[in-house]
């Protein structure tokens, strides 16, 4: 009996379900007759299990032939596409259904990976694709990457479609390369902010945007608060501190205000107080020279601290210069 079953299992033409059921019945009767012979019973059970497994595999393969599996015909080379001036282009893709007994319906294309490449509008849908049929769809896309990006883009897509029981199925993801060809010549776009890209402060009020309330608040404090009070403006590097103080300086400039501006990078750290006071007094003297008449300015210079005085007592020299300046400005009215 065992030899008969094994021989039947090895026959290539053993495909008919009726034949298998008959073999099951034969095996069952044999098992009933030989229940006491445990070795033979185990062998027969194994043969019956193998028969059932073989039938299940054949049945799955048979059902798979009715389950459509469309896919994209991926080109072996990079797909060239012409890109318009606004970045839009059409991508033609061929979808094919092979080795199937039933059609595929509601086929949709889904982009899994296309960095900077986005669909425009609704993606096309293939309503029905018959076995061994091929259809080409044109997908409208747009390149939103930065200017100067590579003309080669890697794309990964897959298909979504409805199965025999109206369930949603997906195909295996597929990858291919696009080669984008610009439709027109390269045109440089004027960039008014290019001059400030290296960290140069924004001095032009026309190019400065925002922070109006903060500028007004700082300006008001500097004008109305008691003389000699200090304020600190802190923030991350290249966050706009120098640009903001430049706008404050522009708001303060007037006939009654003298503004001195200097960078700490120009200060001698070994003699920081002397260097700081010297720089401030130099700027103060230059601005007074343009505001006072020649005789008054000459009189001021006679009271101005010498360099040796600055080195010996920078703060005292600073107070002396301010006192002399106030006195002359009062005389000038």
What residues does each domain of the chain span? 2-64, 71-182, 190-252, 258-333
Q: Which DSSP letter does residue 254 get?
A: B
Give the tens place of pLDDT for each residue, 233-289: 888 777 778 888 888 877 776 667 777 777 776 777 777 888 888 888 888 888 777
Distance CA 5, CA 23 (A): 8
Distance CA 83, CA 142 (A): 8
Q: Which two tokens stand for residue 239?
A: 């966050």
3 state SS of 150: coil
The dihedral of CA 125, 131, 132, 133: what is its sign?
negative
What integer pLDDT is reported at residue 143 of this predicted model? 86
Residue 281: partners with Cβ closer than 8 Å, 6 or more residues away:
304, 305, 310, 317, 318, 321
Look at residue 155 and tell me whether its pLDDT is greater than 60: yes
Instruction: Measure the CA angle with vertex 256, ends 261 and 245; round to 5°.
Output: 30
Backbone angles phi, psi at 143, to 5 degrees: -95, 110
Backbone angles phi, psi at 240, to 5 degrees: 110, 15
DSSP state string for 71-133: EE---SS-EEEEEPTTSEEEEEEEEE--S-SS-EEEEEEEEEE-TTEEE-SPPPEEEEE-TT-
- CATH architecture type of domain 71-182: Sandwich (2.60)
Give the tens place of pLDDT for each residue, 16-45: 545 655 666 666 666 555 555 566 666 667
Give the tens place of pLDDT for each residue, 175-190: 888 888 876 555 667 7
* Euclidean distance between the first and the last CA atom of the chain, given in angstroms as a whole number: 131
Query: Cα–Cα distances in Å, from 270 out to 276, 279, 280, 310?
Result: 11, 15, 17, 15
Give the tens place of pLDDT for each residue, 43-100: 667 767 777 776 666 655 655 556 678 888 877 778 888 888 888 888 888 888 887 7
Q: What is the pTM of this model?
A: 0.38
Give the tens place of pLDDT for each residue, 284-323: 888 777 777 778 778 778 878 888 888 888 888 888 888 8
Residue 218: partners with Cβ closer than 8 Å, 6 or more residues away:
231, 233, 244, 248
- Confirm if 249 and 259 have CB atoms less than 8 A apart: yes
Where is pLDDT greater, at 196 or 89? Answer: 89
Distance CA 157, CA 29 (A): 56
DSSP E strands, the chain? 71-72, 79-83, 88-96, 104-113, 117-119, 125-129, 134-143, 152-162, 168-170, 174-182
Look at residue 15 and tell me whether its pLDDT is greater than 70: no
Look at residue 6 and tell me whether its pLDDT is greater than 50: yes
Look at residue 110 and tell me whether its pLDDT is greater than 80: yes
DSSP E strands, 253-312? none
Give the whole-number percent of the chain exceeding pLDDT 70.
Answer: 74
What integer pLDDT is reported at residue 13 of this predicted model? 47
């Amino acid at each position: 009996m065992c030899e008969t079953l094994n021989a039947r299992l090895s026959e290539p033409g053993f495909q008919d379900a009726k034949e298998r059921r008959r073999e099951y019945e034969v095996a069952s009767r044999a098992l009933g007759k030989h229940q006491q012979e445990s070795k033979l019973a185990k062998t027969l059970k194994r043969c019956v299990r193998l028969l059932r497994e073989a039938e299940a595999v054949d049945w799955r393969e048979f059902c798979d032939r009715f389950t459509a599996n469309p896919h994209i015909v991926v080109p072996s080379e990079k797909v060239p596409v012409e890109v318009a001036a606004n970045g839009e282009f059409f991508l033609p893709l061929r979808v094919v259904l092979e080795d199937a007994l039933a059609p595929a319906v509601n086929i949709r294309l889904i982009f899994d990976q296309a960095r900077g490449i986005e669909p425009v509008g609704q993606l096309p849908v293939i309503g029905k694709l018959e076995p061994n049929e091929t259809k080409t769809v044109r997908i409208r896309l747009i390149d939103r990457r930065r200017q100067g990006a590579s003309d080669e883009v890697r794309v990964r897509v897959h298909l979504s479609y409805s199965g025999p029981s109206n369930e949603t199925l997906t195909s295996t993801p597929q990858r291919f390369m696009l080669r984008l060809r610009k439709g027109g010549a390269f045109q440089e776009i004027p960039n008014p902010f290019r001059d400030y890209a290296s960290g140069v402060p924004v001095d032009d009020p026309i190019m400065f945007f925002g922070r109006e309330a903060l500028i007004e608040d700082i300006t008001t404090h500097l004008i109305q608060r008691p003389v000699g009070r200090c304020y600190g403006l802190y923030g991350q590097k290249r966050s706009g501190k120098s640009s903001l103080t430049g706008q404050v300086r522009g708001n303060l400039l007037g006939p009654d205000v003298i503004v001195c501006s200097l960078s700490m990078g120009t200060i001698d750290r070994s003699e920081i107080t002397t260097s700081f006071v010297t720089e401030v007094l130099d700027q103060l003297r230059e601005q007074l020279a343009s505001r006072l008449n020649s005789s008054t300015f000459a009189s001021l210079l006679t009271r101005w601290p010498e360099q040796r005085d600055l080195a010996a007592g920078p703060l005292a020299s600073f107070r002396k210069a301010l006192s002399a300046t106030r006195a002359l400005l009062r005389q000038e009215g």
